[in-house]
Structure formats: structure tokens, C-alpha cells
Structure 1
Amino acid sequence: MTRNNKKLHLTVKAGYPPHSLTLIPELPLESLGLKQGEQLIVTQKAEASREPSSSRSQPVAAASTNTRGPMTGLIASQAHEPETPAPARIAAPAPSSRGPGPDYVEVDGGYLVHRIVPDDNSCLFSSVALVFEQDIKKAPKIRQIVADEIRKDMLTWSEAILGRPRDEYISTILKPTSWGGAIELSILAKHYSTEIASVDVETGRIDHFAPPTDGRQQDSGNRCVLIYSGIHYDAATIAPILDAPDEFHQTVVPRETDGEGDAVLVAAKKLADALRAKKAYTNTATFDLRCQICQKGLKGEKEARAHASETGHVEFGEY
């Protein structure tokens, strides 16, 4: 390819870790075995027609094979498995040196970036909306998905499991002031057929919310990452370069393992380490809460649960 009398050398990669695709002009794109929605990373090295250039390749953009519109963020499994996968390179976590900005950890093929969502009582739903819908404004849609699933599956989501009458729980979770937790993450993992890995900043523990394997639906084999501070959820997504636009972030990756062998989980724990070093977490045993209904001051999750049990009030805010 040439542009402005310069010859452009392009490299196209797909999958995670990214691997180069062999492009043959005579063959159609279908021959590459790509799946709809899969992210492509394109790098270029400009070379003058008369004189070779020594400039290094620079990422120019990540493209998508989704032909229906903007990239969905639901990245399919690798089109081709490399014969010998290269080990992931995980760098020591460090905040951006270019001034205020999100924390990140280097991974093979890009950066795992802390994607901060508003602290508005809808953080779990906003984070999931960012991952699966690419729009935090769709948090109400995520709440509705949870409500619909609880309403539909009376056996799984019984009053005993929910801790209160089903209709009351549904009504509460649809309110923009209500928090979400393990129940909501379990439902959303099933809905999107994708494991949600929630990394606790204070302890480094990873809680895995996996889609059911009862044969009633297909597991995509993918995983996304959320960061949990004790009272707040954010997302973590992979950017091909640090300044990549949001739409080029890979929000879901193929699931490798559940332990130390998974490059993304290792990076997620390192990201939690960086946030812990900055005290970016809240100890729920000692933090101060206020009931948003009766305005009573409470200390820690234990008092909040006791207050909810005594009064039925389940809307709290930190102060």
C-alpha cells in the first residue's frame, strides 16, 4: 500500500495474546476464520519509496470485524491458536507518568486499564454496561436485565436466597439509588454467557462469577474484569495503546485458567496492588454509612445489615 509516495507496511493481529494474520490478497476475508465482533490491531511502518526508513512500528488503531456498527466489545475467541503461545509479559504496576490519569498494567499486546465509572450508587451496573454495552448510560438496562431474570426464575431466585420478598427485591433493584452485589453479578454472568472476575482491591482476592454449565446455554469461554474497592465497582479493559479511544478497548478476553497461569488475571491482581498502595479501597467493617431513608448513622456493613433486618431499609450511602 502506498500513500503520499510512501510505501506503507501493515501488520494485522487478532486474538489474545495478539498473533499476526497472514493476508493473501487473492483470498477473501472469510479465509482468516475471524468471528463477528473480533478486535483487530493494525500497526504500520511508513517507508519512503526511494529510501528505507528506520522508524519503529506504531499502533494506529484497533479495528473490528463487526459489520453492523461500532465495535461491540464482546471479543470472540482467537481465530487461530498460535502453535506456541508466547508467555505474557506483566510489568510492575505504576500510575501513568504523564500526569493524572487511570492506573494501568502492561500486558502482552497492550495495557490493562482501570476504567473509572461515576460513584452514584449504580457503579456495578455502569461497569457492566461499559463492558458489554460500551455505554455506562445503559446502566438502567442492566438493572432491568437483573429484574427480568429474578421475575422469570422463581426457583433460583427465591425469597430465601434474596433475603426479602421477590417483588420487593425487584422493585428495589430497579431504583437508581440501590447497590448491586453478588446476586446481580451471577445473573449478569449468565445473561452474557461470560465469566465476571471481580478483583477485591484490599485483599487481592478474585471472585469468579461464571455462567451456569447445566447445558441449557452455551458458555462463551470469555471473561471480563471488574475492580471492587469495598463499596465501589469499576471496570478494567485492555487498550492497544495508552491513548486509545474507548471504543478500541477490548472489554472481554478469552478465559485461559482461573489461577496464576491466566495473564489477564495476573495483571488484574497487579492493578489491585497498585490501587491498594494508594489506599484506593474502603474497609466495609469500619466505614461510616447513613441510611438514605431514615438518615440514621451506621458504622460498617454489620450495622447496616442489622438495620436493614430491623427496619427493611436497604438504601445506604457513605459519609
Structure 2
Amino acid sequence: MAPIRLRHPKGVTTVDIDLASDTITVRDLQQIVFSHTEIAPSSQELKAGYPPHALTLVPDLPISSLGLQRGEQLVVTEARGSSTSHHRATTSASSTAGAIKPAPAPVAPQVLKQVASSSDAVETVRVDGGVLVHRVVPDDNSCLFSSIGIIFAQDMSAAQQLRQVVATEIRKNELTYDEAVLGQSRESYIAAMSKPSTWGGAIELAIFADHFQTEITSIDVESGRLDRFGESKYSNRAIVLYSGIHYDAVSLAPTSDAPTDFHETVFDVKNEVILQGAREMAAKLKAKKKFTNTATFDLKCEICGKGLKGEKEARQHAKDTGHSQFGEY
């Protein structure tokens, strides 16, 4: 990891990014910038070096293509005349350790159905005050909503109700959640998100952070990065684990076998012991290969049988053929 300083209209922010990674893309960097500046990726202008020179941003290229160095300062501005010049999107995720995978959100179900499966084995990490427990939820396309249900209601069956929370917030905030942020028309996004087959991602986590007035920190299992939703806005924090295409919750229990009624799922945002324990849990999951790299995993179209490599090819195949059901080899 290498520190990068972002100088933007809101101030100066330092983030840690693996500049040599082949899996972290320019798009991921743009999402990090978005999380701290609320400038949509399509409106961002980034400059580096001295004197500062404009960077050519090709979203699908690895971040190494930008030639950034450790300690580099990026000057972030918003392109004049952009659709976000007069209002800011607040559906952001703040990252402190690398590229953001929940934003862009996990592969949309219209393109790729969820193919990962969580192990029945439950990871635990002992910390001061008890044991952190990996709360595994089903791989049913509602894993994010089930995890949020566990955290705020101790009930993963609240998933469908939570989908309606998202729909309501998007309807209420037309300027915040416009087509530029949602990536499609507001009506189609709301319709899709209301269905149990649609995955949630960064937009939904940002909505839940504000709805429950709690910072939600998503820890990426593969990279170890932290994506903070509602950062510096609230005094409490909840934690989810993200494996590439699946979310699970994290809770604190008196003992590893304590009934869920005794689990704590919302913590003081200043409690770094809990956060560090959750990061250790993510590292344990990574060591057991419990993550999916959506850029490289092997897929098969379940309609025509064509073999595909990663999310990008799956999206293109769906666009070319209209086929929308994919499975993992």
C-alpha cells in the first residue's frame, strides 16, 4: 500500500492504494475520489506531478497505467458543465486502504447471477470484550440486505423491507440520486432494486448509513481495503465483509457460541479494537481463499453455454445476446 494525497474542493484527504496492483483499476481510483469529493467519476479531472498535468483516465486499465508514485498528490477538480456541477451526489463510500469494489456495485443480476457460496464454517476473532463473529448470510442475491437486517434488526428476513427503504430514499431525493449516479433511469433502478434478485452495492450502503445514522464500514476480503459509508457523520459504526460478490455481517458476542440475542452489531466509531479485529477476520478469510476476483473468474452462459472470463466479458455477452444467466465453472 502507498499513500496518495487527494487535494479537492472539500480539502485534503490521504488514502492508501496498492499502486502496483493489476486488479485495482482506474475506475476504482475514480470511485475513491468520488467517495471523498462527491464528484461523479464522469465529471472528474485529475492532475498529478509538478507542475500538475492532466491524467488520461481509462476506467478499465489498471491503476499502474497512471504511473503514480508513493506520496503522489492528485489535484481533483470537476469538469465544467458536468451534470453534477450544481448538486452533489451523496451516495459515496470512503476508502482508506485501496480500490473500491462495492462501487461500482457488484455485478448486476441482469448480467451475472450470484455464484459465490459462503462456507458453513464461521470465522471468529477474539478481541477485548468478547469474540467477533462472521455472520454468514445466504447467497440469494439479497446478501447485502440480509446483512444489514442482521445489523440493525437482528433479523435477516428484513431484507425485503430494507429494499423498500432504498426505493423510498431514492424517490425522495431526486437530485441526489439522479441518472448520473444510478447509471440508469431512476424508475428502472427503483424497479430493479425492489426485486429480491437484484444485488445491492455502494449506493445502498450509503443510503443505509444515512437512514440508520451509522457509519457502515465494508472490508474487502481480497484487498483488505476499508470502504466507509457515512464517514465522519455519525458516532456509531457497523461492519460488513465483502468477498467480491457477497456481503456478510460482523457481530461481537460474549463467546463464540453465544445466542444471537446476545450479539452486538453496532459499535462506537472510535473503537479501533473492533475494527482491527474485523480486519483480522478478513485476512483469515483471504488466507482461506474465500473471495472472488470478478475480473478473472471463469463463467459460463447458462443459456448458450459460451465460456467467459470475468465480469467484463459477461457484461459484453449480455449486451450482445440479451442472455442474462451466468454461472461459475
Q: TM-score range with shorter-chain normalisation?
A: 0.5 to 0.7
Residue identity opposite 1:264 in structure 2: I
- Determine if the alignment matches structure 1 residue 303 to structure 2 residue 313: yes
1:117 aligns with 2:112: no
User: In structure 2, how many angstroms separate the alpha carbons of the residues matched to 1:163 and 1:318?
Assistant: 26
CA distance in 1: counterparts of 2:148 and 2:314, whole angstroms: 25
After TM superposition, give the deviation of residue 243 of structure 1 in Å.
1.5
Classify 1:315/1:125 alpha carbon distance in 2 versus 1 (closer, same or farther; 3 Å): farther
C-alpha distance in 2 between matches for 1:159 and 1:309 = 20
**Corresponding residue for 2:80?**
none
Q: Secondary structure at the match of 2:227?
A: strand
Distance 1:139-1:291 versus aligned 2 partners, 3 A rule: farther
Does 2:251 align with 1:237? yes
- When Rg is computed on C-alpha atoms for both structures, the one with the higher figure is 1
Instruction: State which of 168, 182, 191 in structure 1 corresponds to 2:188.
Output: 168
> 2:126 pairs with 96, 101, 106, which one?
106
- Cα distance change on mapping 1:295 and 1:179 into 2, 3 Å: farther
In the alignment, the residues of structure 2 paired with residue 251 and residue 135 of structure 1 have an alpha-carbon distance, to the nearest angstrom, of 12
**Which residue of the partner structure matches residue 38 of structure 1?**
none
TM-score, normalised with respect to structure 2: 0.59
Encode CA deviations 1:54-106: one digit per residue, 9 max, x unaligned. xxxxxxxxxxxxxxxxxxxxxxxxxxxxxxxxxxxxxxxxxxxxxx7411111
Q: How many percent of aligned residue pairs carry the same amino acid?
A: 57
Residue 148 (1) aligns with residue 148 (2): no
Poorly superposed stretches of 4+, deviation over 3 Å: 288-298, 304-319
- 1:306: Cα distance to partner? 3.9
- Asked whether the equivalents of residues 290 and 317 of structure 1 are also in contact (C-alpha less than 8 Å), the reply is yes
Q: 1:275/1:314 Cα in 2 relative to 1: closer, same or farther (>3 Å)?
A: same
Question: How far apart are residue 265 of structure 1 and its match?
Answer: 1.4
Normalising by structure 1, we get a TM-score of 0.60
Cα offset for 1:135? Answer: 0.6
Q: Which amino acid aligns with 1:247?
A: D
Q: 1:190 aligns with which of 207, 210, 214?
A: 210
> In the comparison of the two structures, how many residue pairs are matched?
210
Change (3 A) 1:292 1:202: same
Contact 1:227 1:272 in 2 (8 A): yes
* Among 251, 254, 262, the residue aligned to 2:268: 254
> More helix per residue: 1 or 2?
2
| CA 158–317 in structure 1, closer or farther in 2 if over 3 Å, else same | farther
Counterpart of 1:81? none
Q: What amino acid is aligned across from residue 266 of structure 1 in structure 2?
A: Q
